[in-house]
Structure 1
Amino acid sequence: MPRYALKIDYDGGPFQGWQRQAAGQPSVQATVEAALARLEPGPHTIAAAGRTDTGVHGTGQVATVDLARDWSPFRLSEALNWHMKPAPVAVIDAARVPDDFHARFSATERRYLFRLVARRAPVTHDRGRVWQVLNPLDLAAMQAGAAHLVGLHDFTTFRSTMCQAKSPVKTLDEITITEHPYAGGVEYRFVLRARSFLHNQVRSIVGTLERVGAGGWSPDQVGEALAARDRAACGPVCPPQGLYLTGVGYPVDPFADRPAR
């Protein structure tokens, strides 16, 4: 059976996360699988690089699926997008991949973006797509706090008590925080990169760094919280709507160096 990789873009607001849910609750996975069933009758199960939570968005999610028909990748993406209307989910690229390629287990890197907007007036165009706070934050302080987290650490403090990972030890390869103009305020963008993340790790880190930026924590307290290896030492967990899975890395990019459509 031919195997395909799909690059998927979605607004997580209407969904109870990526993973298929019980009792008919909407999920991104179920939306894509329902569209696949319209193309090839029968049940379909797709495997994703990351199971994003309720309200979390994806701009570069990757999933793999085995199909009976030998589809042109372009035709496959066009057909899926037609059948997923009007759900806010789109296949932005598709590629035929080797049988041993797996969206989750072949991945060597996940990249996340968190968008935080500071302004007094309510956000309008980005409602549901950013976390809003009222007052500007101290960028340098947040960058200093984030420096404590880069590298190989026990991230027990920054993972959910419901996390099912076998070990809390992870290597965080990058945290970059930048400041950008925003109408009536300022936007802070947090870029995090690692081979894999613990459940709620990104939101726990960003929520803690926001406290640093607001002056409630010193940058060194981030390092102290990490060293505590205690969930109770974590700062607030920020809301999901500012979080985006922006990309997944593989030894060979399945979407690169292919003929133009």
Structure 2
Amino acid sequence: MRNLLMTISYDGTAYFGFQTQPGGNTVQDRLEDAIRQLTGEEVKIHGSGRTDAGVHARRQTFHFVTSSQIPVERWRHALNGRLPSDIRITDVVEVPLEFHSRRSAKRKTYRYSINGNRVFDVFNYPYQLHHPGALNIEAMHEGLAHLIGTHDYTSFASRHSTKQSHVRTIYEAWIEVEKGTGAGSHEQGIIHIYLTGNGFLQHMVRIIVGTLLQVGEGKRRPDDMKTILEAKDRSKAGPTAESKGLMLWEVEYADLSIS
């Protein structure tokens, strides 16, 4: 038996998330179908994490155990030929049998993208939240800093979260702004919010973004992020931002080179 770790990119617009659901039409369903077509095996893949409906991935990972002897270098081409065009396998490596794509992951980074220009970009509309109103980016920077560290993030978790513990660690959190993408000097550009942590709760990044937007709009103070965090009460935080602006940016492992 062999354990294969694969890295994939996908546009989540058409799917009900990564993980298999009773209603079908998930990224996992498409991947397992492609593996079945290629090898005849009924395998269950294990993702590094789940993404919600409409959320995208730049570098999601998953592993599965197979008895197939297909050489590692042939899997990518063979599976991509059996997958829809909005899902692409970018890398395949063989890993030890005890390796687990979720439990072995050390750091995950998500990026949320906001188009702050007056007119949205029709080509990137499925991947960016359009927010033409003025945002105080510096205030958002200040608010975001309060979330770094090890905390109970109940205030920023979905009320439907089934995790026994809401304690997670955010190692880094920052904002980057792409200027020059709009039609005039009054444009805010594209605002990217990055969060890197050891794991994330259901809707956690989207709730953080929804609350940060209120800070940027002047509806909350940057210090309110600390107060909300300490409350451990979902009702104290802001709305859940739309899923389309969120992308699983990267999953990192110790002592494992994935290129």
TM-score, length of structure 1 as denominator length: 0.94
SS at match of 2:119: coil
Alignment of 1:7-46 (within 5 A): 7-23=7-23, 25-46=24-45
On the 8 A contact 1:17/1:54 being kept in 2, the answer is: yes
SS at match of 1:232: helix
Structure 1 residue 120 displacement after superposition: 1.9
Structure 1 residue 147 displacement after superposition: 1.1
Structure 1: which 5+ residue stretches go unaligned?
A: 257-261
Within the candidate set 155, 165, 171, 2:169 is matched to: 171
The residue aligned with 1:243 is: 246
Over the aligned positions, Cα root-mean-square deviation in angstroms equals: 1.2
The residue aligned with 1:72 is: 71
Alignment of 1:1-261 (within 5 A): 1-23=1-23, 25-86=24-85, 88-181=86-179, 182-184=181-183, 185=187, 186-255=189-258
| CA deviation map 1:219-241 (0-9, x unaligned) | 01111111111110011110010
On the 8 A contact 1:208/1:236 being kept in 2, the answer is: yes
Q: Distance in 2 between matches of 1:200 and 1:97?
A: 30
Q: What is the aligned residue count? A: 254
Percent identity between the aligned chains?
A: 31
TM-score, length of structure 2 as denominator length: 0.95
More displaced stretch, 33-42 vs 247-256: 247-256
Structure 1 moving runs of 4+ over 4 Å: none
| CA deviation map 1:72-130 (0-9, x unaligned) | 222101000000134x0000000111111110111111111111111222330111111
SS at match of 1:197: coil
Structure 1 residue 71 displacement after superposition: 2.4
Structure 1 residue 254 displacement after superposition: 4.2
Letter of the 1:21 counterpart: Q
Q: Distance in 2 between matches of 1:237 and 1:212?
A: 14
